[in-house]
Amino acid sequence: MGAEIHGLFIASLVIFIGFIGSVLLNKHNIPDAIFLIVLGYVLGPLTGIVPVELLSGVATYLGALALIVIMFESSFGINLRELLITAKSALILATVGFIISSLITYFFLYYIIGFYPENPLMSLIVGTIIGGGSGAIIASIVQRINAPSSLQITLSLESVLTDVFVIIFTSILSFIIAKGGGVEPQTIAANIAASFSTSIVIGGIAGVLLAYILDRLRKESHLYTMAIAYLILLYAMTDFFGGNGAISVLSCGIVLTNLSYFTGVLPSKGIIERIHFQLYSLESMHSELTLLIRMFFFVEVGIVMNIRDIYVVTIAAILSVLLLLGRMPLAYVVAPGLGFSDKRGIAATLISLFYARGLAAAAMAVLLPTNLMSYMEVTQLPPDLEAATNFIIQVASAVVLFTNVILTIGVIVMRDKIRELIY
């Protein structure tokens, strides 16, 4: 059998397993990430069918595509008015929960494990990588377990926001780690501010321009193909001009989703209604592309993950439990604000369980070596730093797997308790 036929068989297998996983996610609340990571492990470390070295050339591109689709998909769920006025619980859960998760990971890795003692920021960056839940997984499951609507909205929006937090704060720490040696804090802060302002401005302008293009070409076919090419170009151009491509894509999507706040720069008010109508079809098609990228990326995670390394697996398992326990006090505080004063314990437990990590965590872990090399302007990381980033990839991948398993088991165990929240 030729190598190309062999590759096509594997690709079709990945897509079929991914589709089956998507069906199981929709019908039985079992995250597809579990099946895809396990499939990757079977194809890679277990059987050697797909060698890890084969992925070295595509991992960076697949990771960048993952960031583009995550950020654009996240922007669909960010309504600025709703976020500031009616979604305070989600904002608190996302912000405080992300900080707590990041700090728990940092203290455990740096002070207990002694990971990379030369630079404590390496432990903190693991915290930001696994600091937030997966929007795609959490939103899909919470909408199908018949949870009260207040919980559905809060958990879905929280997971969207934490996807964004994971990418933004990991990018910031990557820059600080790469530039930190011998560079003044003021210089680092100025560079970060310049990068972010550049990204937001370029993304905002790109969002208005994309709205105009979509409106002018609304009668044409294959608009989504043009839109995704536009986003890839935006990501690349922003990086070229010294910004952050992921933030630029997010800004572009937020402008599209909230066009009513940007009427002053639009040619007419009629464009707002037409774009909102187009966004429904764009969102549907974007979910298909997101699913396809998730399939191959999670398989890649399984291929690079070494479950046989007991040390890494143990650390990841402990972190998964600590992240769950660390979330519970915050969930207990937030629950009454969602209308669950009488059943506070049940609501808090359910909120805590919806913490499964996903594509954002996996993508930022895999992209970490590339980002550090880019910021350091080198083609090869120092041996100790390379070993540290490999460790981070292994731990983050295992945490993604374990947190999804815990969520699945937790939902099954709490099935009857969930009904009590409704009646």
Average pLDDT of the residues in 74-101: 82
Identify which has the larger pLDDT, 100 or 221: 100
Q: Which two tokens stand for residue 211?
A: 């709205």
Write out the two tokens for 296: 């191959």
Backbone angles phi, psi at 303, to 5 degrees: -70, -40
The pLDDT of residue 181 is 61
3-class secondary structure, 369: helix
Cα–Cα distance, 390 to 46 (Å, whole number):
19
Residue 412 identity: I
Per-residue confidence (pLDDT) for residue 196, from 0 to 100:
84
Q: What is the mean pLDDT of residues 384-413?
A: 94
Quickly state the pLDDT bin for 343 (edges 50, 70, 90).
confident
Q: Which two tokens stand for residue 278?
A: 């187009």
* pLDDT, position 84: 66
* Residue 340 scores a pLDDT above 70: yes
What is the pLDDT, as a whole number, of residue 215? 86
How far apart CA 87 and CA 77 sit, in angstroms, is: 12
User: Token digits for 310?
Assistant: 């007991």
Lowest-confidence range among 97-101, 144-148, 206-210? Answer: 144-148
pTM comes to 0.87
Q: Which of 32-46, 97-111, 249-263, 265-279 has the highest mean pLDDT?
A: 97-111
Query: 178-215 pLDDT, tens per residue?
Result: 987 666 777 777 877 888 889 999 999 999 899 888 88
> What percent of the chain has pLDDT above 90?
36
- Per DSSP, the three-state class of 145 is coil
Q: Which CATH class is domain 3-422?
A: mainly alpha
* d(C-alpha 124, C-alpha 122), whole Å: 5
